[in-house]
Structure 1
């Protein structure tokens, strides 16, 4: 029986679409199976740091993405009253740093693929292997077969769970709300976070007079009351933060999206013969360093390089694993640690944290950023 494709990619998010584009670039036959019933413009803002832009350039789509984003030059952290804690110059002259609406990035990636090769309504349940093929079974009762399987279906991937039964998402200890506000009157231009004892509030300007914001507070896992918070409840928490935070909440025009923050404990492997984990299915991280989408895009570019150099697919997958495990592990650990620091509530701990950040030499921040941005994609 002939396989439906050479490579079956599970997941039509950023990782899955970017990987499909990268593999098509080197002549591979690719089919994408997405769990959602339709590809819709969903999500909020994300960061595309210089390493992500470098990866987008490598797979040939940077020119389509750049016009949809806002160039990020500086990132500031304030305390609850608006006093500066730290300021980082994030300008990268070669590739730049951008903020973009997730839906805009998603639509740009989707435009590079044949719509007939992106199937919707395909939520995976399990896989079987017979002879030289994998068959993936979906909730709708259908199945697809392929010679090679790339799992890009996110942190809750059932296929990863089948491969690694103990690879469960772990709660970070805080919950998050996200929204999009009208920036016509506010005219916010600075990307920032504000760290208070009651929570943390982030601001990310986007194009088309929009601002993406997020708000995080320490909370029990899956709190049923917080799930239904609207602007009024968030104003009770963040209403006494410095401006423009209260105004921004009031100017919110989108539905408010809620979710607990979680990641994956670093895995020991990504490659399983002709199966490979990528993106959040492999190395889901907390969003504190803005590297979730960036690492997914790096994955696509590096996998393209590995497959282009090695005709033996399992060997190419192992080469990818060897290159990606150390970097993704480091970022997952650093991001989780930063989140704990940013979510401190103890007054003495908050004071010491703010003092440490204020007195940290600018060269330390710059060095850390350059290390983050530098990635070998060849």
Structure 2
């Protein structure tokens, strides 16, 4: 649900009735995925400096360890990817004009498993229910990149900043531990025309298509990438054919999601009073089926 800063509902964004939607902490997901792999497959504290390939053999260079040679390099090293920097040095992250605070609280006791957002002139606040009475929250405010004003924000600053927002927002901030608030600016990545380079270097997740968090699709699209890549490697006889199919399935789809997420952020972060009145009025008049179409793109994906 989307509310204005007085708590009046602007609209609802229904999810697909045919799919199960689960929200869990990132660390829980990481631990779950790791549990299916043998410990010897992990090599921690290996900082990649760059990669290269002759089209047949890929070489990964590390800051401290010796380089290794492999048949294929999968760059899944995030928005600041060193793998992407090696193959696309001119591609840069794009600051989106707002900064974000995040946290997780206990004992929220939300009555329904419904995610809520509150859109106001000074910023936006979201609350997402987790398991066992916990809740994830985020707050976004328009800001300059690396804005020193917001770098000094702590719990009391946030409480004062959002003091005029509805009771659920104030309750979340009251419950939040002082030392467990995360803060970072919001970026995305200029769309790439391909995720495959030198025949055997492939980008995956944020390294390929980092997006703003407005649709909650960062980790989701990364997992879709991994599933598709695994499936095509099993299905096709040659690496070239498999990666060509991966490109076809993932580049256009993730580009659309990144673009739409960026657009949602621009609408939600409006700060001009007249623009906000026009936006809120428009949001209230939008039919439910139009809102539902905003999420249908997420389900139009192929696994191989």
TM-score (normalised: structure 1) = 0.76
Describe the shift of the 1:184–1:289 C-alpha distance in structure 2 as closer, same or farther (beyond 3 A).
closer
Q: How far apart, in 1, do the equivalents of 2:166 and 2:43 lie? A: 46
Q: Check whether the contact 1:174–1:260 (CA below 8 A) recurs between aligned residues.
A: yes
Cα deviation for residue 370 of structure 1 reads 2.6
CA distance in 2, matches of 1:170, 1:290: 18
Write the deviation string for residues 111-159 of structure 1: whole angstroms up to 9, x where unpaired: 1111110111112101233684222111223332211100000110112
Q: 1 CA distance for matches of 2:109 and 2:71?
A: 54
Q: State the shift of 1:107 in Å.
A: 0.8
Q: Is the 8 A contact 1:121 1:140 kept in 2?
A: no
Which one of the candidate residues 291, 298, 304 is aligned to 1:372?
A: 298
- Distance in 2, matches of 1:122 and 1:337, equals 36
- Specify which of 22, 27, 48 is matched with residue 103 of structure 1: 27
CA distance in 1, matches of 2:139, 2:50: 36
Distance (whole Å) between structure 2 residues aligned to residue 140 and residue 77 of structure 1: 49
Which of 124, 135, 148 pairs up with 1:224?
148
Say how many residue pairs are matched.
302
Deviations 1:27-69 (A, max 9, x none): xxxxxxxxxxxxxxxxxxxxxxxxxxxxxxxxxxxxxxxxxxx
* Residue number in structure 2 paired with 1:20: none
The residue aligned with 1:260 is: 185
Q: Deviations over 1:8-35 (max 9, x none)?
A: xxxxxxxxxxxxxxxxxxxxxxxxxxxx
Question: Structure 1 231/307 Cα, relative in aligned 2: closer, same or farther at 3 Å?
Answer: same
Please state how far the C-alpha of 1:248 moved relative to its aligned partner: 0.8
Distance 1:363 1:139, change over 3 A: same
TM-score (norm 2): 0.94
Structure-1 residue corresponding to 2:204: 278
* Conserved 8 A contact 2:114-2:128: yes
CA 246–269 in structure 1, closer or farther in 2 if over 3 Å, else same: same
Once the two structures are TM-superposed, the CA of residue 249 in structure 1 deviates from its matched residue by: 0.4
Matched with 2:194 is: 269
Structure 1 residue ranges without an equivalent (≥5): 1-75
d(CA) in 2 for partners of 1:113 and 1:263? 30
From the superposition, tell whether residues 92 and 115 of structure 1 become closer, same or farther in structure 2 (CA, over 3 Å).
Answer: farther
Cα distance change on mapping 1:328 and 1:186 into 2, 3 Å:
closer
| Alpha carbons 2:249, 2:302 under 8 Å: kept | no
Asked if the contact 2:46–2:65 (Cα under 8 Å) also holds between the matched residues in 1, the reply is: no
Say whether 1:208 aligns with 2:160: no
Q: Where in structure 2 are the equivalents of 1:160-175 lying within 5 Å?
A: 160-175=84-99
Residue 131 and residue 292 in structure 1: after superposition, are their counterparts in 2 closer, same or farther (change >3 A)? closer
Contact kept in structure 1, 2:74 and 2:201, CA below 8 Å = yes
Counterpart residue number, 2:270: 344
Q: Which runs of 5+ in 2 are unaligned?
A: none
Structure 2 equivalent of residue 194 of structure 1: 118
The secondary structure found in structure 2 opposite 1:352 is helix
CA apart distance, 1:218: 0.3
Determine the C-alpha separation between the residues in 1 that align with 2:235 and 2:143: 47
How far 1:315 moved relative to its partner?
Answer: 2.5
Is 1:295 the counterpart of 2:221? The answer is yes
- Shift in CA distance, 185/375, structure 1 to aligned 2, threshold 3 Å: closer
